[in-house]
Chains A and B, each alone.
Chain A
Amino acid sequence: MSNPQLDKALSKLTNQSPQPATEPFRAILDRLVRMELSELVATGDNPTTAEARSQLEQDAELLRANLAGENPTALEQLLADQITTCYAFVTMLDLQYLAALRKGATKELAEFWANQSERATRRLTRSIAALVNVRRVQVAAIQVNIGDKQLNVSS
Chain B
Amino acid sequence: MAFEKRNNRLYYYTKKRIGKRVVSQYIGRGPEAEAIIQKAKEQRQRRETEKRELATLAESLAALDQQVDNACHQVETLVSDFMIESGYHRHKGEWRKKREQPPTR
Bound-complex Cα distance A127 to B85 (A): 19
B88 lies within 8 A of chain A by Cβ: yes
Bound-complex Cα distance A24 to B57 (A): 17
List B residues 75-105 near A (Cβ within 8 Å): 75-79, 81-83, 85-86, 88, 95, 97
B82-A134 in contact (CB<8A): yes
Closest to A24 in B: B67
| Minimum C-beta distance from A117 to chain B (A) | 11
A50 lies within 8 A of chain B by Cβ: no
Q: A2-B85, A82-B71, A123-B72 are in contact. Are A109 and B79 (CB under 8 A)?
A: no
Closest to A26 in B: B67
| Minimum C-beta distance from B89 to chain A (A) | 12
Bound-complex Cα distance A30 to B81 (A): 33
Interface residues on B, range: 20 to 34
B50 lies within 8 A of chain A by Cβ: yes
B95-A133 in contact (CB<8A): yes
A6 lies within 8 A of chain B by Cβ: yes
> Across the interface, which residues of B come within 8 angstroms of A112, CB to CB?
54, 57-58
Given contacts A10-B82, A82-B71, 15 further A-B contacts (CB under 8 A): A2-B85, A6-B82, A13-B74, A13-B78, A21-B71, A21-B75, A23-B67, A27-B64, A112-B58, A116-B65, A123-B69, A130-B75, A133-B95, A134-B82, A134-B83
For this complex, 11 residue pairs linking A to B, each with C-beta atoms less than 8 Å apart, are: A10-B78, A24-B67, A27-B64, A82-B75, A112-B54, A112-B58, A120-B68, A123-B69, A127-B72, A133-B79, A133-B83
List the 6 closest pairs (A to B, CB-CB), nearest first. A24-B67, A20-B71, A21-B71, A24-B68, A137-B86, A130-B79
